[in-house]
Every structure is written in C-alpha cells, then in structure tokens.
Chain A
Amino acid sequence: MKILARLVLAVVAVTTLAAAAVSQPAERGVTATEIRIGTTMPLSGGAAFWGVPISGAIDAWFKNINDAGGIHGRRLSLVVKDDGYLPPRAVANTRELVERDGVFALASSLGTANVFAARDYVIETQTIWITPLASADIWAGYRNKKYMFMTYPSYIDEGIFLTKYAAENLKTQKIAVFYQNDLYGQQGLLGVKRGIAQKGIKLATSVSYEVTDAEVTAQGLKLKESGADTVLLYATPRHGALIVREMAKLGFRPTLVSSFTLADPAMFALAGEAWNNVYLSAYFPLPGLDPRVDAVLATLSRINPALARNPFNAVAGVGFVEAFLEGLRRTGPQLTKDRLVTAMETIKNWDGEVMRSVTFGADRRQGTNRLFMIKAENGKYVKLTDWYSYPTKF
C-alpha cells in the first residue's frame, strides 16, 4: 500500500512539474524584463579595428532602444567577449555565451574563419544567430540553418562584381589580388577568379599575407613585378593601409579596388594620400550619402562618442542587428525561438535605418544580395553606381 501511495505521489509530482514547465515556456536568455544577446568579436589583435566599433555600435543601439522602453517591455542586454580574431577563441567564447551566459541569440560574430569554426556548434545547439559576419557563401548548401538569418554580402559575389566593374569601367586587363591567407581572403580571391573567367581578362598574380605579419615589403615588390594594372584588396585595414603605402613607396601606382571591408573613412587617416582614388563596393548607404544613416550615426555618437571615429563600421553594426530587432517586434510579447523564426520569415523588402530591402522567407536566410560602387576622393567617398543585385543562394 505504502509503495502504491509513493508511486501515486511521484506521478502527481512529475505531472505537476511538467505542467509548470509547459505553462512557463522558459526560453533561454529571455525573462519578463530582459533579452540577453551575446557576441564574440576581435576587441584586440589585428581586426580590433572592426570588432571594437561594431560591438560598440550594437551596444549603443541597444541602449538607444532600451531608453525608449525596450521591445515589448524587455530590455536588450549585450554580452561581448574578445576573441582576438582567433578561431579557437571564437569557438570557446561562443560555447561560453550559450552554456554559461545563457544568451537567447548570438549577434554577428566576426571573421569568416571564426564563424566557420563555430558554425557546427551553433547549429547543433539550435541557437538563434543573426548575421554572422562571414562571407555568405559558407552557408550555401549547408543544412539545418533554420535559426540563422543574415544580412551580410558574399565575398565571392563581391569579388565577381568588383572584377567585372573594373574590367568594364576601369580598363582593367591584368589584375593582381592581395589577400588574407584565410577563408575571408580565399573567398574573395575565388570571386575575382570567377570574374576574370567571365570577362576574359588576366590574373597577374595573387599575393597573400598572414594576419600576424607585421610588414608587407615582399608582397609590395611581388605586386609591382607582376605588371598588374589593377590591384584588388581583401585585407584587414592595417594590412590594406600597409600595402597601398608600400606600393606608393615603390613608385607602383595601379588602379586600386577594395572589398567593402575597408570602406571605413578611418582608412584615410591610416593610409593617407595613398587611399585616394580607391574603388570599393558598398552594401548599405554610407554615412554622408543618406540622411537616415546620418541620423543613426548621430544617435550612436551621442551614446558613445568614440564611435564617430569609425563611422562606417559603427553604422554597419546597427545594420547587422536591425532585421533581428524588427523580428523581435513582430514576434510580440510571447517570445520563443520558433515564434521569432516565424516572425522573421514575414520580413519582405523591408527597409531598416541602415540595411535596405531585406527579405527573408521559409527557405530564404540570405537577407540581402545587393552592392553598389563607391570611390575615395579627397578624404571622402562618392557614390558611383546604382544597386547591382546578385542571385541569392539560400
């Protein structure tokens, strides 16, 4: 009899607990008053130039939203961890954010190699991941990315676009590529090679560097020797600035074309005169070219004045998360992962403050597929072309 009573008690207890669990859909990182979001960024090392302003801007933008009451009464809090641009540290940080800090979503981890390294873990744990800053192409054909949404271009498509633009408009015949010897640079190089094949021009040479390299003397000499009329850059700001100065030093002045990754006006301060006349792509309207983007920059600078020094990277930081914020708004007060996914999938041709024409869907995770060309002139960027679209892949 006693045993039966205990059994009944146990069953009652389990049922009650289960019922309690159902009535409180406790989503990790979400409370009645807070949504916790995490990111791992290079706050030190060779890519701090990107990581510091981008994470700073996301944090400032969250503060801005919190000051206005948050989203459905919940404040946004951001946990930032430094990975020094090292993939192993990025993986460790990501695990820590999910397992120890218990974040609801990951926002924009930076670096194609870093994202690539952490990808399997994030997908397996079914964590919401919004705009991992990696070439979009690493996701093409990758399965189970239900919880991943991105508004970041593909370096392959960008490489094709830049090469075709150079061949059609800058009289480029022989192109040389200066690239980072990791997945970021390799994807860019692949794009350039495809563009070259399409246009029937020549690859003069491709010259790589390591993120840890302090100087690029030999690379400059090699580029000069190649006899290229155009040099295309897939580099960190530091190495990009070093190589354009190195080429100028050698009296080698080819047409310079660069990935949008070097579009921050701070490049003028680093590379000086050598940064003038560089052609770049862009994937959102730059500060100075669009009043709404300027307003975002003004808000960011008011909250964190240091962000005004890296206007492009700061504004980009907002661009990476704003579709997610729109998704949170559309989800309503009852926030769960799956409800967020459903809400995100209703975003069609949506214009944010920074990112424009964002579209997601049941089988679409690549939110943007557009670029345009800009040129560095006298310490400023001017717009050269209208939007150009490339096909979406996932």
Chain B
Amino acid sequence: MTRLLQYVVGGLTTGSLYALVALGIALLYRSSRVLNFAHGDLATFATFIALTLLARALPFGVAVGASLATAAAMGAGFYFFVLRPAKEGTLLGRIVITLGLALLLSGVMQLVWGNETQRFPFPLSDVPVLQFSGVVVSQISLGTIVASVTLMALLYVLVQRTRVGLAMRAVAQNAAAAQALGIPARRIYALTWGLASALGGAAGVLLAPAVYLDPFMMLDPFLKGFAGAVLGGMDSLPGAVLGGFLLGVAETIFAGFVSFKFKTTLAFGIIILVLLVRPEGLLGREYHRRV
C-alpha cells in the first residue's frame, strides 16, 4: 500500500504540471477553438526570461512575476498582431500559424540561450523530504502541487465569479452575440491568450527546477498536457485539470507496476481510447454546432 501511495504521490507531482499545461490549452481551445502548438515554447521562453533575471540577482518573486507578465504580453500580442489579422483564414490555418510561432520561438531560444542543459535556481530544494508513514514527499514536489492547485483555484474564481470571467464565458459561447451585447470580444480574446500563456509560463517555472532547463524542456510535458486536456475534455476547465492529474498518476503507476517502455505510449493510447468511447472527454459536454 505504501508502495502504491508513493507512486500516486510521484504521479500527482507530475500530474499537477500536466494539469497546468492542460488548463492553458483548454482555456484557449474553448474560447477560440485554436489548439495552440506554441504553448510549450511560450512557457519555456518565459522560464528563460526568469532565469536571465535571476542571474542578475533579482529576487525570485520579482523575476518570476516579470517572466509571467512577459509570457502574458507575448500571448496577447500574438493574438492581436498575428492571429486576429488572420481571422479570415481557416481554423486549420490558424493552428498552423501557432505551429510557426512554436518553431520561431524555439529558434530564438536556441540562438539566445544556447542548447545547453541548465539548472534553474528555485527557493525550494528537493533533498529535504517529509515522511508520511513511509511515503516520501520532497519540498519541491509539495511546493509544485500547492502552487499549481492555487493557480487553478485562482483561475476558477476569475472565470466563474468575476465580470471579466462572465465576459470570457460569453465570448467562448457565442462571440458574435457577446459583441452585440457590448462585450469587447477582441480584448477578451487577447486576455484569454495572455492568461493561458502566463499559466504555461508558471508550469515552465515549476517544471524547470525538477527537470532542468533547455529550449526543448516543454516538448514532452506539452504533449502530455494536451493528452490530459483531451482526456478530461477540451471544453471543460475542471476536466482539463482532472485529465492532467489522472494522466500523471496513471503514467507513474503504469510505469511502476507494468512497463517503463510503454509509459509514453500510454498517454497516446488514452487519447485514442477517449476519442473512441467519449469524444468530448470525461467532463466535457458534447459539442453541438447550431445550424
């Protein structure tokens, strides 16, 4: 039992990061139907900004705050200056644009910060560990879970309990009607892009101390986050969170008790299975387009 619990704890730590990534992806998808392939690279970019600021001896909070703000500005800017002018393009076209942004960002990061694997300084260390009846939890794992859950809770409050959140939901449901009612849809879209990118940035900053930073750091977590979002429901924010956590735990338990070699395959196996059995995801609602 202790053994299983230990795997669950490990899975929750990774799952919390998948959940953060999934949340960012779902947030954008649900409002604009665009699957943002640059989500991972934006996150890595923000993490590099934080690293650069930390190297200049800025306090951790300030550096991370500034990097998240940069990510938000980049996300919003990308919507305003690239995606919005391309609104006449097809949905697929817009998705391909995000793929272009991903390649561009990756190239810039390699040019500016190089390809070397780097250590990311973090106020919490991974060696002092807490023991709960035989189950070991490191400070950093606990910190990651707490920070991710806090961010998710804040987003929930913002979307469900504030006027901005109401506007975001309205635009997500029917942009034209929302605009007719006086909601500045474009600004809301930009805000959504900014928020999603900042969430990605937060995932990057939380992930980097655990897995080291290089321009390709988010490659695997992005795919897993995406798988988590599909599992939970691309349309549902709680679904994306649930999907991320479930995938993290399932993956770790599968690796520990069945096979390491098929750990990554599991994520994609899950996507296929979900699409076959319940295409809208665990918590997603079936998507009907009104004719």
Contact with A along B128-169 (1 / 0, CB 8 A): 010000001010000000000000000000000000000000
Asked if A168 is at the interface (CB within 8 A of a chain B CB), the reply is: no
Would B255 and A52 count as touching, CB distance under 8 A?
no
Would A212 and B220 count as touching, CB distance under 8 A?
yes
Contacts of B221 in A (CB 8 A): 214
Contact with A along B1-27 (1 / 0, CB 8 A): 001001100110110000000000000
Asked if A77 is at the interface (CB within 8 A of a chain B CB), the reply is: no
Contacts of A273 in B (CB 8 A): 127
Pick from A39-47, A125-133, A327-335 the stretch touching chain B: A39-47
Given contacts A181-B261, A207-B260, A219-B255, contact A237 B117 (CB under 8 A): yes
Contacts of B136 in A (CB 8 A): 249-251
Contacts of A219 in B (CB 8 A): 255, 260
Pick from B64-72, B204-212, B229-237 the stretch touching chain A: B204-212
Contacts of A269 in B (CB 8 A): 119
Partner of B7, one of A52, A221, A241, A270: A221
Contact with A along B48-61 (1 / 0, CB 8 A): 00000000000000
Asked if A12 is at the interface (CB within 8 A of a chain B CB), the reply is: no
In the assembled complex, the CB of B114 is this many whole angstroms from the nearest CB of chain A, namely: 8
Contact with A along B255-279 (1 / 0, CB 8 A): 1100011011000000000000000
Given contacts A213-B264, A214-B221, A245-B126, contact A48 B212 (CB under 8 A): no
Given contacts A44-B216, A218-B252, contact A249 B10 (CB under 8 A): no
Would A221 and B256 count as touching, CB distance under 8 A?
yes
Asked if B174 is at the interface (CB within 8 A of a chain A CB), the reply is: no
Contact with A along B104-133 (1 / 0, CB 8 A): 000000100011110100000011010000
* Complex alpha-carbon distance, A43 and B14, angstroms: 28
Asked if A139 is at the interface (CB within 8 A of a chain B CB), the reply is: no
Asked if A210 is at the interface (CB within 8 A of a chain B CB), the reply is: yes
Asked if B217 is at the interface (CB within 8 A of a chain A CB), the reply is: yes
Asked if B219 is at the interface (CB within 8 A of a chain A CB), the reply is: yes
Contacts of A212 in B (CB 8 A): 219-220, 264
- In this complex, the interface size class of chain B, counting residues with CB under 8 Å from chain A, is 35 or more
Would A217 and B252 count as touching, CB distance under 8 A?
yes
Partner of A214, one of B110, B211, B215, B252: B211
Contacts of A217 in B (CB 8 A): 10-11, 13-14, 252
Given contacts A208-B261, A249-B126, contact A242 B212 (CB under 8 A): yes
Contact with A along B196-228 (1 / 0, CB 8 A): 000000000001001110111101110010000
Tell me what chain B mostly uses at the interface: helix, strand, loop, or mixed.
helix
Would A44 and B110 count as touching, CB distance under 8 A?
yes
Given contacts A48-B117, A214-B220, contact A249 B7 (CB under 8 A): no
Residue of B nearest to A216 (CB): B211
Residue of A nearest to B260 (CB): A208
Would B7 and A48 count as touching, CB distance under 8 A?
no
Contacts of A218 in B (CB 8 A): 7, 10, 251-252, 255-256, 260, 263
Residue of A nearest to B223 (CB): A212
Given contacts A225-B3, A270-B212, contact A249 B138 (CB under 8 A): yes
Partner of B117, one of A213, A225, A249, A270: A270
Contact with B along A213-235 (1 / 0, CB 8 A): 11101111110010000000000
Would B263 and A213 count as touching, CB distance under 8 A?
yes
Asked if A238 is at the interface (CB within 8 A of a chain B CB), the reply is: yes
* Complex alpha-carbon distance, A249 and B130, angstroms: 10
Contacts of A242 in B (CB 8 A): 211-212
Partner of A209, one of B10, B215, B260: B260
Contacts of A48 in B (CB 8 A): 115-117, 214
Contact with B along A39-62 (1 / 0, CB 8 A): 000011110110010000000000
Contacts of A210 in B (CB 8 A): 261, 263-264
Residue of B nearest to A246 (CB): B126
Asked if A32 is at the interface (CB within 8 A of a chain B CB), the reply is: no
Contacts of B114 in A (CB 8 A): 52
Would B261 and A52 count as touching, CB distance under 8 A?
no
* Complex alpha-carbon distance, A209 and B217, angstroms: 16
Other CB < 8 Å A-B pairs besides A218-B252, A220-B10, 14 of them?
A44-B215, A52-B114, A52-B116, A212-B219, A212-B220, A212-B264, A214-B211, A214-B219, A214-B220, A218-B260, A221-B10, A221-B256, A250-B129, A251-B136
User: Can you sample 25 A-B contacts with CB below 8 Å?
Assistant: A44-B110, A44-B115, A45-B115, A52-B115, A209-B260, A212-B219, A213-B264, A214-B219, A214-B220, A214-B221, A217-B10, A218-B7, A218-B10, A218-B252, A218-B256, A221-B3, A221-B7, A222-B255, A241-B117, A241-B212, A242-B211, A245-B126, A249-B127, A251-B136, A272-B119
- B residues with a Cβ closer than 8 A to A are 3, 6-7, 10-11, 13-14, 110, 114-117, 119, 126-127, 129, 136, 138, 207, 210-212, 214-217, 219-221, 224, 251-252, 255-256, 260-261, 263-264
- A residues with a Cβ closer than 8 A to B are 43-46, 48-49, 52, 181, 207-210, 212-215, 217-222, 225, 237-238, 241-242, 245, 248-251, 269-270, 272-273, 309
7 closest residue pairs by CB, A with B: A218-B255, A48-B115, A217-B10, A214-B220, A218-B252, A249-B138, A218-B256
